[in-house]
Amino acid sequence: MKTIVTISGGGIIGNYISSKLHNHNIDSLVIEKLSKSNQVKENIRTLTLNQASKKLLDEIGVNVNYAEIKKIFVNDGEGSGKINFSSDEIGSDNLSYVVFFNDLQQALQQKTLERTIFENEIKKIISGEPSKNSEVTLSNNQSILTKFVAGCDGRNSKVAKIGKFKEINNSYNQTAATFTVTVNNLEETSAYQIFSEKGIFAIMPAPKSSGKLTHTVVWSIDNKRLKDADIESYVIDNINYFESKLGTKIKIFSKILSFNLINHHYQSYVSDSMVLIGDAAHSIHPLAGQGINLGFADAQVFCEEIIRGFERSHEPDQKLVLKKYEIKRRSLNLVMLKSMDLFVNTFNSNNLYTKLIRNIGLSSVNKINFLKRLFINHAAGNNKI
Ligand SMILES: Cc1cc2nc3c(=O)[nH]c(=O)nc-3n(C[C@H](O)[C@H](O)[C@H](O)COP(=O)(O)OP(=O)(O)OC[C@H]3O[C@@H](n4cnc5c(N)ncnc54)[C@H](O)[C@@H]3O)c2cc1C
């Protein structure tokens, strides 16, 4: 078998890349570890897409149910600091869009079905000379000749392991709980985020057509706070704190899913014909809802460089294409990862001075229009740095 791009991982980013390249007549094959049916699950987990990511999905004709966010209210639960963002401040209809992870995953998977090999994974990659094909061997011993091997296989990327990429990782020592809820007193198109000793609590509108549920919660909790309690008991015992902060009843509607929060990044994204994209290259704290958006920004640049390479020559310079991708994305991702770490540490601190500074800081930024616009445009994906 022969293809131009072999994509390890049929998640959102892998399937997006395959669809985008297909629209430009560039062949790809997606290798997905799970079975097709294994990926159809109850809608619980959501993603917040920024405007740039939504535009990429619109361009390839992916349309799923979205809930719009027009305002974001951020509060320091332990103090008086607060900051509000509104789409009006940047002259836009929306700030971001909430989508169910499974809806988006399935819509993208539909587009790549005929190019996906399920229940398989890459076990060996023999990189060829530059401009020659590499040979990929799958776990069923099938062999593929390919120009590029794109690792879109998430946090424990097999491509990164095979390519011996050097990883830097760090546990946040936090667990994220996520679940859907009904509320009786929150604005329909507003998201709320509260930083407190009980954790970082974000509540957002859920996409319509999902029965009675109205909102979705992502709550990151310090493992020290959890002690021996399981996550479910902790959520049930502590949710009233946020009910009183927000002035609404919050009724849990779904199962509570939990994720261990770790950030990781690679010293390089490229080795021979191998390249890391999306969560395979980096993962970040969910507090800013930027993980998938960084992945889409990576995928966009990767596709652009491959498409441009083929516009220039029918044998594009493999090294040049991949190096350009790495140069354009790695340092930007690093800035985002480091800023998020600083944010998490500042809000986790019990130091009185840090608490004072963060309260003054939040409220001051709230009053400075140009700084607010900068933050909003960043979150919307309108600024590249
Ligand atoms: C609680 C929580 C909330 C989040 N909320 C947001 C949010 O609001 N907004 C946001 O932008 N981001 C959010 N994120 C981050 C976001 O979920 C990820 O950034 C995103 O899912 C990464 O997509 P991906 O396609 O790169 O990787 P993944 O989603 O990890 O997909 C990887 C795919 O590869 C497959 N695979 C794995 N190993 C192999 C292998 N060896 N061979 C073949 N296939 C393999 C997997 O089965 C999967 O299909 C959140 C994360 C968490 C944990």
**How far is Cα 361 from Cα 368, in angstroms, rounded to an integer?**
11
Q: Is the CB of 162 under 6 A from ligand 1?
A: no
Write down the pTM of the prediction: 0.92
- Tokens representing residue 306 in the block: 């491959």
Q: How far is the CA of 279 from the centre of ligand 1 (A)?
A: 6
pLDDT-derived band at 39, boundaries 50, 70, 90: low
Position with higher pLDDT, 84 vs 304 = 304
Residue 385's pLDDT is what?
A: 47
DSSP state of 205: E
Q: What is the tens place of the pLDDT at every residue in 252-285? A: 999 999 999 988 999 999 999 999 999 999 998 8
What letter would DSSP give residue 276? E
Check if 291 has its Cβ closer than 6 Å to any atom of ligand 1: yes
Decide: 256 in ligand 1 pocket, CB within 6 A.
Answer: no
The topology (CATH level 3) of 2-169+261-379 is FAD/NAD(P)-binding domain (3.50.50)
Say if residue 122 is exposed, middle or buried (CB neighbours under 10 Å; 0-12, 13-18, 19+). buried
User: Which is the closest atom of ligand 1 to the Cα of 12?
Assistant: 25
What is the rounded CA–CA span in Å between residue 41 and residue 199? 27
Q: Which residues pair with 217 in a beta bridge?
A: 179, 203
Q: Where is average pLDDT lowest: 75-89, 120-134, 254-268, 304-318?
A: 75-89
State residue 206 phi and psi, 5-degree precision: -95, 155
Mean pLDDT of 227-246: 93
Domains of the chain: which residue ranges? 2-169+261-379
For a mutational test of ligand 1's pocket, the pick from 47, 124, 172, 284, i.e. the residue with the most ligand atoms closer than 8 A to its C-beta, is: 47
Rounded to the nearest integer, the mean pLDDT of the chain is 88
List Cβ<8 Å contacts ≥24 apart for 340-344.
Answer: 340/263, 340/284, 340/285, 340/287, 340/288, 340/290, 341/170, 341/263, 341/285, 343/285, 343/287, 343/288, 344/172, 344/174, 344/200, 344/285, 344/287
